[in-house]
Copies of this chain bind each other. A is one copy, B any other.
């Protein structure tokens, strides 16, 4: 707990704990991608993508290569994908189950209706 190791592991998981960053990693399953490409896939603006990439970079989860004015990103350790696969299985096993998901979706729908 005080042990730094657990704190570093927690930070590693924190790096994965963002929807955009998960999508980025999914994109990188098929190999290198430029920021442009990621930006298009994510439908996010340039600077947001860059920010998320910098978080993944700081945690050493991705690394980059510059080619002219473009930068190509790739995942550093393919084992990350195993991790994501297992996370998906846990999802499919219903660990994160319908109850809380539905509750939250519902809540969101309500919010949107209010907004409309």
Give residues in A with beta carbon < 8 Å to B: 1, 3-4, 6-14, 16-23, 42-44, 58-61, 76-77, 79-80, 82-83, 86-91, 93, 95-97, 99-101, 104-105, 108
Chain B residue numbers with a CB within 8 Å of A16 are 10, 13, 17
Q: How many copies does the complex hold?
A: 2
Nearest 6 CB-CB pairs, A to B?
A: A14-B17, A13-B17, A6-B19, A13-B16, A77-B95, A10-B19
How many whole Å from A46's CB to the nearest CB in chain B? 15
Note all chain B residues with C-beta closer than 8 A to A58: 100
Determine the residue in chain B with the shortest Cβ distance to A26: B6
- Do residues A19 and B1 form an inter-chain contact, with CB atoms below 8 A? yes
